[in-house]
Structure 1
Amino acid sequence: MIIVNGEVLNENSIELDSGFLLGKALFETILLKDKPIFFKEHLERINEGLLKIGLKTQISEEYFINNINNVGWKNCAVKLTVSEKNIVFTKREIGYKEKDYVNGFKIKLSHIYRNPKSHFTYLKSVNYIDNLIEREKAISEGYNEAIFINYEKYLSEGSISNLFWIKDKKICTPSLECGLLDGIVRKWVVSNFEVCEGKFQLNDLLNCDGAFLTNSLMGVMRVETVNEKLLKKSDIINDIRLTYEDYIGKL
């Protein structure tokens, strides 16, 4: 079941436009419990992005909520995709289990470079083929996520996540100028903890005292290994995750 332009459909039925023919479209993936998590932040990002790519469509809170309530969706991931002529809602399972947080994620370095000068880098665009291919490749090799560097060899982001690590009790993350999407949970971490943003190389990650990933569905996910190297475990990461879970539980 999907929602296309306010109509509930059992199969894909969209107007062909520049979004689906040329990739001129944006999306947001929103964690839906009893209500959407970080709702305003997601809508602000997609609405600002739509203006940047020359689309006049703006998604209101009322429009989103009415469509979701119409089908009774709860406790799932909702993907909102907006193009020139289409507003599409789809849903899927959240997918992350408690064992994932216990075991931690195995990540590997991708050999595809992020481009800090590209429009796509800073937009939640449907032009997602690099991310898709590299993540699928990583999963096929036994990893959970692929990490990108930019053409200056500085760490950037994951295919579906932002990257953080701990060094000498300091929280570190690549700065936006390294070419990455400013994720919703990334913003939350930076706003609620003292974080060192900067230009870092792979060795900084490999020699850290613990690392974690963030996105709107996984929240805060500890990293177990990078390129097969076992990382240290930091209590700081567990504290961040518990603080985050407590925060969204009160939203």
Structure 2
Amino acid sequence: MKLPIAFSPGFGVFETLRVENGTAFFVEEHWRSLLESAKTLGLSPKIDFRHGSLHLPKEASGKWRWIVGPREEKEFFEPLPIETKRGFSLEISEVRVGSRNWDSRLKTLSYLSHFQARLSVNADEAILLNEQGHVVSGAMSNIFFVKNNKVFTPSLQTGCRNGVIRQWVMSQIDVAEAHFGPETLQAADEIFLTNSWIGIKPVVRFESKILKKGRITTVLEGLLADTYSLLKKLSSESGIRSQSFNQGREELSDGAR
């Protein structure tokens, strides 16, 4: 059944890119993610948003958003200071998401359950569980935890979104994808959150448990910062102010990585 074109509330997808000093990060990865999400909804973007990177404000930092719907496609840049919060608090939300639902796995314009979850907790971020009680993600982020120097993250089968920074982390270190309940996080040595805006941030409080930023989180933060610096350098030298992380990997292998 086709949805009516004249009235399609919340029917569309979006991507949010981090822009720092005029350079948009991981453009190719975000473009691929947008295409995959749009295809799931039966949409086919006609605008190649990647070309807009050449017109971003040269010295500005903020969020660059791409939006695709059945009748409209648009982009806009929102100047914002880069997130400086050093650590995030985290609580479990009563809001549940379905492991097979689009609004869980994709960045759809129908993002109400995610906002509801975040507003339902007295913390910086909320944990979303699926119908089986497994941890899916944060309301606005992917989640990782460390136990005995091994790194874990929810499996895509839980309903989590395969975020761009999630993919980057998994390209740098060995990560086990698993199904686990929130009680597993109580025993974690480290917990950290990722998304394209905040990058990588440690969790300093999960429910009543206080955590310190651990070694693995610290190393990954440093690697991501090095990647950002390299991509800004490559963009400046090439005259192209956007790069994917794959384009910088060979140089990183001899330096930051």
> TM-score category by the smaller chain?
0.7 to 0.9
Question: What is the distance in 1 between the residues matched to 2:164 and 2:127?
Answer: 18
Q: Which amino acid aligns with 1:229?
A: K
- Aligned match of 1:47: 35
Match of 1:135 among 114, 118, 135: 118
1:174 paired with 2:154, answer yes
Distance (Å, rounded) in 2 between the aligned partners of 1:19 and 1:232? 51
Where does residue 109 of structure 2 map in the other structure?
Answer: 126
Take 1:72 and 1:87, find their aligned partners in 2: how far apart are those partners?
Answer: 24
Q: After superposition, give the CA deviation of every residue in 1:142-165 in whole Å (9 maximum; x if it has no partner).
A: x10001111111111011100001
Structure 1 unaligned runs (5+)?
A: 1-16
Percent identity reads 26
Instruction: Report the TM-score when normalising by structure 1.
Output: 0.83
Gaps of 5+ in 2: 232-257
For 1:152 and 1:39, locate their aligned partners in 2 and report how far apart those are by CA, in whole Å.
Answer: 34
Deviation, 1:187, is 0.4
Give the conservation status (yes or no) of the 8 Å contact 1:160–1:215.
yes
Indicate the residue corresponding to 1:30 in structure 2: 17
Per the alignment, residue 252 of structure 2 pairs with none
- The 3-state SS of whatever aligns with 1:250 is helix
Cα distance between partner residues in 1 of 2:208 and 2:73: 41
The one-letter code of the counterpart of 1:64 is G
CA drift at 1:121: 2.1
> Is residue 19–residue 25 contact of structure 1 (8 Å, CA) maintained in 2?
no
Query: In the alignment, which residue of structure 1 is the partner of 2:64?
Result: 78
The change in CA–CA distance for 1:35 and 1:95 in structure 2 (over 3 A counts) is: closer
Q: 1:247 to 1:205 in 2, by over 3 A?
A: same
Match of 1:215 among 179, 190, 195: 195
**Equivalent pair of 2:142/2:166 in contact (CA under 8 Å):** yes
Q: Determine if contact 1:147/1:156 at 8 Å carries over to the other structure.
A: yes
**Cα distance in 2, alignment partners of residues 115 and 51 from structure 1:** 20
> What do residues 3-35 of structure 1 show as CA deviations (whole Å, max 9, x unaligned)?
xxxxxxxxxxxxxx9597421111000011222
Deviates more, 1:206-215 or 1:116-125: 116-125
Equivalence map 1:1-251=2 (5 Å): 18=5, 21-33=8-20, 34-61=22-49, 63-65=51-53, 68-69=55-56, 74-98=60-84, 100-101=85-86, 104-138=87-121, 141=122, 143-251=123-231
TM-score (normalizing by structure 2)? 0.81
Q: State the aligned residue count.
A: 227
| Cα deviation, residue 82, structure 1 | 1.3
